[in-house]
């Protein structure tokens, strides 16, 4: 679905719904003709079922067209719920149809004795119906999964039951045909002759079962019900990919094919507006990898950190208060020696005097908070503010990847280059190189090799915002 834009999605959904209407019209006509000619209640019930399918397909077509409309002042959440109403309307039509089928079937079983006129093409009509419904339900299910359309999914489920109900009718007709080989007075003939009406009851049972399932889903969505599975998936994503941002509350609801997610996230109290925006954007990107069409609202709340004595967390919280970023924080010397080191990031064009004064103000608060005079803060340029140079035209993506691959392969400790990603976001261009190195290297040696290669790549591609080399041990 991610490969299609919105207009293509709506066009594909509309095309699928239109094809469903055409096939439903065809099946309804041939079944009515066959049912009237043969007098088969099973075929007539199938004809009525197909007429119902035609109405349902028409409703689905209308719902899909309406759901494609963008949100407006009267419907700020969009028009997708029309698909849920479409499914509920199908349910009502199914129940009405079943009432007529059950009434006629019981009447024929107990009171009326109807003579059926079976011909080969009566069987052919039912078989054709089965073949058409197999293709139609498969097509609708494929498009529904691709576009996440509940209306098309309901249609696909609807027509899947048609396959089973048609099989029941076919079995009933076959039993009636077989009954001709037995004397009319025999018990076996009387049972087999009633198989058509019994088949009609079977169809009604199948239809009612489907109607019940459709109504539950439609009402659940119309009442802003959510998906427990999707909620658990979002929470799992947050725990695995954004563990520093605990979820205090989450609400998820389905409106048509779209999921609306509301979350309360706990972050450090000193987080300023720009940092808070980056946090919410980061979390949205995590969720949209699994739910690309989700409408996400994230509320930031200050975390209760009164009981937290982590020196690392304290350093980062104070950095946020001073509108700084730090990295490489570590506690050096024996445990409890209160000797700390960190890199403090500053805008690259800031004057050293101003940067130094800002760093000293931050360090002063650190000394008070950590009760230590032995704190070293090293000033480094914040790479977020470094604009990349213009990329020469001859440096195409293929050329950059090929040259980077050759550079890594020429290093004596690199065994294999597994993957290289070049990403151009306009203002930011990055190169990430994944490779395997000798398995007997330690962490320090691997880090030095990666740093050496990154410097070589930066020399080759000075226009890049970032170059990274990520090493893993080569499997023997």
6-222: CATH superfamily: Cation efflux protein transmembrane domain (1.20.1510.10)
Q: Quote the pLDDT of residue 242.
A: 66
133-137, 306-310, 455-459: which has the minimum mean pLDDT?
A: 306-310
The CATH number of 397-473 is: 3.30.70.1350
Intrachain domains 6-222 and 397-473 with the same fold = no
C-alpha angle 191-196-197 in degrees, rounded to nearest 5? 85
Residue 279: is its pLDDT beyond 60? Answer: yes
Q: Tokens at residue 369, please?
A: 């908070």
311-385 folds as: Alpha-Beta Plaits (3.30.70)
Q: Determine whether 439 is exposed, middle or buried from the number of CB atoms within 10 Å of its CB (0-12, 13-18, 19+).
A: exposed
Residue 426: is its pLDDT beyond 70? Answer: no
pLDDT in tens, 55-90: 777 777 777 777 667 777 777 766 667 767 777 777
228-302 folds as: Alpha-Beta Plaits (3.30.70)
* Structure letter (DSSP) for residue 428: -
Residue written as tokens 């027509």? 159
Rounded CA separation 66/73 (Å): 16
pLDDT in tens, 109-156: 776 554 555 566 667 777 887 888 788 778 777 877 776 666 676 667
Rank 219-223, 225-229, 348-352 by mean pLDDT and report only the highest: 348-352
User: What's the mean pLDDT when you consider all of the chain?
Assistant: 77
Residue 38: is its pLDDT beyond 90? Answer: no
Residue 345: is its pLDDT beyond 50? Answer: yes
What are the residue boundaries of the structural domains of the chain, listed by start? 6-222, 228-302, 311-385, 397-473
Strands 429-437 and 466-473: parallel
Give the pLDDT band (50/70/90) at residue 232.
confident
Rounded CA separation 89/215 (Å): 9
Q: Quote the pLDDT of residue 1.
A: 40
Residue 411: is its pLDDT beyond 80? Answer: yes
* Structure letter (DSSP) for residue 271: -
Rank 17-31, 39-53, 162-176 by mean pLDDT and report only the highest: 17-31
| pLDDT greater at residue 408 or residue 308 | 408
Buried/exposed code over 28-42 (b: 16+ C-beta within 10 A; e: otherwise): bebbbebbeebebbb
pLDDT in tens, 384-402: 555 556 778 888 889 999 9
Residue 333: is its pLDDT beyond 70? Answer: no
Question: Please, which residues have CB within 8 angstroms of residue 4's CB and are 6 or more apart in sequence?
Answer: 12, 146, 147
Cβ–Cβ < 8 Å for 211, 91:
yes
User: Which residues is 217 bridged to in the sheet?
Assistant: none
Angstrom distances, CA of residue 280 to CA of 139, 148, 242, 244, 443? 38, 25, 11, 13, 33
Q: Quote the pLDDT of residue 113.
A: 57
Residue 5: is its pLDDT beyond 60? Answer: no
Q: Quote the pLDDT of residue 384.
A: 59
- Residue 145 CB coordination number (10 Å): 13
Percent of the chain with pLDDT over 90: 11
pTM over 0.75: no
Q: Quote the pLDDT of residue 3.
A: 44
Angstrom distances, CA of residue 178 to CA of 58, 127, 196? 38, 18, 12
């Amino acid at each position: 679905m991610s490969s299609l834009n919105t207009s293509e999605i709506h066009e594909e959904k509309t095309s699928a719904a239109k094809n469903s209407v055409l096939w439903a019209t065809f099946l309804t006509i041939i079944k009515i003709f066959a049912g009237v000619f043969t007098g088969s209640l099973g075929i007539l019930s199938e004809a009525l079922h197909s007429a119902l399918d035609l109405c349902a397909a028409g409703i689905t077509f209308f719902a899909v067209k309406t759901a494609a409309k963008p949100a407006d002042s009267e419907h700020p959440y969009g028009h997708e719920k029309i698909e849920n109403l479409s499914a509920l309307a199908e349910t009502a039509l199914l129940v009405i149809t079943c009432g007529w089928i059950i009434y006629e079937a019981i009447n024929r079983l107990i009171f009326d004795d109807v003579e059926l006129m079976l011909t080969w093409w009566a069987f052919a009509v039912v078989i054709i119906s089965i073949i058409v419904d197999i293709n139609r339900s498969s097509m609708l299910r494929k498009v529904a999964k691709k576009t996440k359309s509940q209306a098309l999914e309901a249609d696909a489920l609807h027509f899947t039951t048609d396959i089973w109900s048609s099989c029941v009718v076919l079995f009933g007709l076959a039993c009636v045909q077989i009954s001709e080989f037995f004397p009319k007075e025999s018990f076996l003939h009387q049972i087999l002759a009633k198989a058509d009406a019994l088949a009609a009851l079977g169809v009604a049972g199948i239809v009612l079962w489907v109607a019940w399932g459709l109504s539950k889903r439609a009402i659940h969505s119309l009442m802003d019900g959510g998906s427990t599975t999707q909620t658990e998936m979002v929470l799992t994503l947050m725990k695995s990919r954004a563990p520093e941002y605990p979820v205090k509350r989450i609400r998820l609801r389905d409106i048509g094919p779209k999921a609306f997610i509301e979350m309360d996230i706990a972050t450090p109290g000193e987080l300023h507006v720009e940092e808070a925006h980056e946090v919410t954007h980061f979390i949205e990107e995590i969720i949209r990898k699994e739910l690309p069409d989700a409408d996400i609202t994230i509320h930031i709340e200050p975390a209760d950190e009164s009981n937290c004595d982590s020196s690392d967390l304290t350093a980062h919280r104070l950095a946020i208060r001073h509108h700084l970023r730090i990295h490489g924080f570590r506690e050096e010397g024996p445990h409890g020696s209160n000797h700390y080191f960190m890199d403090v990031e500053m805008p690259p064009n800031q004057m050293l005097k101003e940067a130094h004064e800002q760093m000293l103000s931050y360090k002063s608060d650190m000394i008070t908070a950590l009760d230590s005079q032995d704190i070293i803060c090293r000033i480094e340029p914040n790479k977020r503010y470094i604009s990349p140079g213009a990329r020469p035209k001859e440096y195409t993506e293929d050329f950059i990847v090929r040259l980077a691959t050759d550079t890594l392969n020429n290093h004596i400790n690199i065994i294999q280059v597994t993957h290289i990603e070049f990403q151009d976001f306009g203002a930011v261009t990055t190169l990430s190189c994944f490779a395997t190195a000798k398995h007997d290297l330690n962490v320090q040696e691997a880090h030095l090799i990666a740093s050496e290669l990154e410097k070589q790549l930066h020399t080759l591609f000075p226009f890049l915002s970032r170059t990274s080399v990520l090493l893993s041990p080569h499997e023997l």
